[in-house]
Amino acid sequence: MYAVAIDGPAGAGKSTISRAVAQKIGFLYVDTGALYRAVAYDMLENEIDPADISAVCERLGSITVRFGYENGEQQIYLNGNNITGKIRTPQISAAASAVSAIREVRQFLFAQQQDIARENHIIMDGRDIGTVVLPNAQVKIYLTAAVEERARRRFAELQEKGIPADFNEVLADVKTRDENDMNRPVAPLRRAPDAVLVDTSCLDFDQSVQAVLSVIKEKIGQGIK
């Protein structure tokens, strides 16, 4: 099986670009960040502080989080309920950043990520895919963009979904997530030594997709459509 690991900071477009690339080459797209968002959603629903390690770890024994696919689109199920449409708010983003820094949460979700990679040709995106989850992936890409551009994209995404947002708050949230993700003690955001850097600051969506496709085709051209 072929694995493409795409890492990068919040708002870099990893999910939308990875999904589009996966569709073009017939790979399964796996958004690992959605798993952490699901855990964060559960904590907030149960009035648990996402940064309270002992409380979060105690709650983990009462939840199940799994992937599902409908018409080729990834769905996230929490205790059997589809919560895919409920986990893309700034509040969930901040909570997901907190729970993802907890070692036990990462261990809780680790096996699912590796299992799906063993069974499918995949494109998996996240923060530590190339460094921790899939260190032997045939293709590793570090996808990034300037922080202001990432905030602009996130703001536009929220507006499109009808979610109230303030640009300055979104920008502050992106900066905070960068700080948290890069400095957390467990699986911090890092560019793997063998990852190809793709900066999309000056690229539109189609150009970004083509840039990622070019890297994949160069690495495993014989293994894709």
**Looking at domain 3-217, what is its CATH homologous superfamily?**
P-loop containing nucleotide triphosphate hydrolases (3.40.50.300)
SS3 assignment, position 143:
strand
- Identify the pLDDT of residue 93: 87
Domain positions in the chain are 3-217
**b/e burial code for range 50-71 (CB count within 10 A of at least 16 → b):** beebeebeebbeeeebebeeee
Question: Are 21 and 124 within 8 A, CB to CB?
Answer: no
Q: What is the pTM of this model?
A: 0.81
pLDDT in tens, the chain (225 residues): 899 999 999 889 898 999 999 999 999 898 888 999 999 999 999 999 999 999 999 999 999 998 888 877 889 999 999 999 999 888 998 899 899 889 999 999 988 888 888 888 999 998 889 999 999 999 999 999 999 999 998 899 888 888 888 999 999 989 988 998 898 888 889 999 999 999 999 999 999 999 999 999 999 876 565
